[in-house]
Amino acid sequence: MADERAADAGIGDHRFVDPALLRRALTHRSAGSPHNERLEFLGDALLNLFVAEQLYQRWPSADEGAMTRARAELVRESTLARIARDLGLGERLTLGPGEMKSGGHRRDSILADAVEAVIAARYLDAGLEACRELVLSWYLPLLDALPPPNRVGKDPKTRLQEWLQARGWPLPAYALLAERGDEHDRIFQVRCTIAQPPLSAEGEGTSRRAAEQSAAEALLAHLA
């Protein structure tokens, strides 16, 4: 993809004094040098700093374990890739011919690396406070949506089990309802049922475990 896709020299409302920094941040190593790997290294550290800072301020009573789990959720590859898609970064990446042909602009790992590189580019271009402002413009909604510290990082099946155990009620039962699709692309449908209160919910996933998690999440929504 061509450099002109980064020629507006900005990310959202954040403009770059040095457009070359943004171009580098959006250049994958497959396109040759200079590319964004060094920026990615720096951006990863800055992102972890800003997220840790927010968690420390928001959760004055949380222990290190809860904050560590929350940070891991917020800075993981899939979260960064979702941010990249929201920003339209995939269409602005400069990729080598092979990555272009294989759809690299849609790949989570490449998108996540680009977000980290953009963070570093913003820091080098405008300083720490401007970089923090950029990151928080993406992350405040995610931070606001976090569950309480004692629930963060726990999967839906664990949360449902703990909710029932805390009340002395029977554990949930999971039943496989259906499988469909090709052997390499299966979809599983599962029902989760609890006896008290009498409720059930269904979920789907690309594995039985994922379908069970989806069903547990749906049932938890009824209990909320």
**Residue 197 sits in a domain of what CATH number?**
3.30.160.20
What is the model's pLDDT at position 4? 46
**Distance between CA atoms of 143 and 152, rounded to whole angstroms?**
11
Q: Are 25 and 9 in contact (CB under 8 A)?
A: no
Q: Are residues 101 and 191 in the same domain?
A: no
What is the model's pLDDT at position 224? 66
Rounded to an integer, the average pLDDT of 123-147 is: 94
Give the residue numbers annotated as catalytic, written as ranges: 44, 116
Residue 15 has pLDDT above 70, yes or no: yes
Q: Are residues 53 and 112 in the same domain?
A: yes
Q: Are residues 41 and 134 in the same domain?
A: yes
Kindly state whether residue 71 falls inside one of the protein's structural domains. Answer: yes
Kindly state whether residue 12 falls inside one of the protein's structural domains. Answer: yes
Kindly state whether residue 151 falls inside one of the protein's structural domains. Answer: no
Kindly state whether residue 8 falls inside one of the protein's structural domains. Answer: yes
Q: Average model confidence (pLDDT) for the chain? A: 90
Residue 216's pLDDT band (cuts 50, 70, 90): very high
Which whole-number Å values give the CA distances from 164 to 3, 42, 71, 192, 210, in the listed order? 55, 44, 27, 13, 20
Kindly state whether residue 101 falls inside one of the protein's structural domains. Answer: yes
Q: Are residues 63 and 162 in the same domain?
A: no
Q: Which of 144, 173, 191 is the last residue of a domain?
A: 144
Residue 8's pLDDT band (cuts 50, 70, 90): low
What is the model's pLDDT at position 50? 98
Residue 2's pLDDT band (cuts 50, 70, 90): very low
What is the model's pLDDT at position 153? 66
Residue 43's pLDDT band (cuts 50, 70, 90): very high
What is the model's pLDDT at position 102? 87
Q: Are 100 and 18 in contact (CB under 8 A)?
A: no
Q: Are residues 56 and 121 in the same domain?
A: yes
Name the DSSP letter for residue 57. Answer: H
**How many folded domains does the chain comprise?**
2
Rounded to an integer, the average pLDDT of 111-128 is: 97
**Distance between CA atoms of 175 and 208, rounded to whole angstroms?**
10
Look up the domain containing 172 and give its range: 156-223
Rounded to an integer, the average pLDDT of 82-89 is: 94
